[in-house]
Amino acid sequence: MKLKNIVELLNAKVYCGEDQGDMELISACASDMMSDVLAFVKDQALLISGLCNPQVVRTADMMDIKCIVLVRGKVPTQDMIMIAKQKGIAIISSDYRMYSACGVLYKNGLIAGDQETI
């Protein structure tokens, strides 16, 4: 699924990565605990989280995550945006709650990170 489709589906605001709309994302994970992301996530492309601090971007970078979706209307800090721009990670924000955002994306074809890609 292209980033621009995710932005549209979640009625999201793009904070960085405006030029990455055609980036293809094939899987996702959702967590507010970065230790879980580090421990369990493999080859993810999209992280859905309500946690709003620079550690989210650093974790995404370590796990080769290409996009962070902040839920519940969270707004990224300037530090988050600066680090994400340096690392080439898109950050978007949606008013959806985490469960709803996951459901919308899954229903529209974005698979969970623990599933095999076809």
The CATH code of domain 3-112 reads: 3.40.1390.20
- Over residues 1-55, the pLDDT tens digits come to 999 999 999 999 999 999 999 999 988 889 999 988 887 666 668 999 999 999 9
Contact yes or no for 53/77 (Cβ under 8 A): yes
- Over residues 59-107, the pLDDT tens digits come to 999 999 999 999 999 999 999 999 999 999 999 999 999 999 999 999 9
pTM of the complete model? 0.91
> Domain residue spans in the chain?
3-112
SS (H, E, C) the chain: CEHHHHHHHCCCEEEECHHHCCCECCEEEECCCHHHHHHHCCCCCEEEECCCCHHHHHHHHHCCCCEEEECCCCCCCHHHHHHHHHHCCEEEECCCCHHHHHHHHHHCCCEECCCCCC
